[in-house]
Amino acid sequence: MADEAVASDSSTQNPLVTVTFQRDANRKQKYLEAEPKALGITQITLTVHQILCLNIFPNYQRHPFNKIPFIISSLLVLIAGSVAIAARNLHLPTLRGNLGMQIVSSAAAFFNAIWLLVDIETYYSECWHYSHDYNSTTAQVCHAIERTKHHLFAQNMIIQLALFAISVTLAVYTCKVVNCCGPAPKMPVIMLQTPPADP
């Protein structure tokens, strides 16, 4: 019995293998895998493009103030792109702010897509004035403008889907870093110790 106690005591003092669980010190680097600078710049440029495209073909039959919700939600996406670039410093409060802004940005991109659908559905053609004289130059120009507006609408919808995907991607990567869904994962660290050499 005394021999067993000595044997177990010596094995607990100098184990050959030690397994500990530690938090990953480099987990914040996971955010940089999303290329936040490139995605943030893409968010900003696509949003500026959207705002400019909105004013190319004004919808004369609607009140100009109806564009304000679209512009406000576009500005939210623009701010989210700026915060995504700023979060590259991996400062935890900035990363948390980025997570919140990317969630807001994805909701804003979804809202803008719905707004565009409503806008194109309520838009009616001005070319009916020329239905009696379809071959006139004015009627042909009017129909060309109508076709261009529909192409621009399709482009804007694709851009809104891209902005939504970018926002969701950045939110997912940020969520992995700030551990919003649970505690920080611990990684096993295995340490091998060589026994002391017998003299």
pLDDT in tens, the chain (199 residues): 444 444 444 445 666 666 665 555 566 677 778 788 999 999 999 999 988 887 765 554 455 567 888 889 999 999 999 999 998 888 888 888 999 999 999 999 999 999 888 877 666 556 655 555 656 777 777 777 777 777 888 888 999 999 999 999 999 888 888 876 555 556 666 666 666 666 5
CB neighbours of 89 closer than 8 A, spacing ≥ 6? Answer: none
Tokens, residue 91:
């400062």
SS (H, E, C) 38-96: HHHHHHHHHHHHHHHHHCCCCCCCCCHHHHHHHHHHHHHHHHHHHHHHHHHHCCHHHHH
Q: Provide the β-strand partners of residue 21.
A: 188
Q: Provide the β-strand partners of residue 18.
A: 191
pTM for the model: 0.70
The pLDDT tens digits for 131-179 are 556 567 777 777 777 777 778 888 889 999 999 999 999 998 888 888 7
Nearest-angstrom CA–CA distance, 85 and 160 = 20
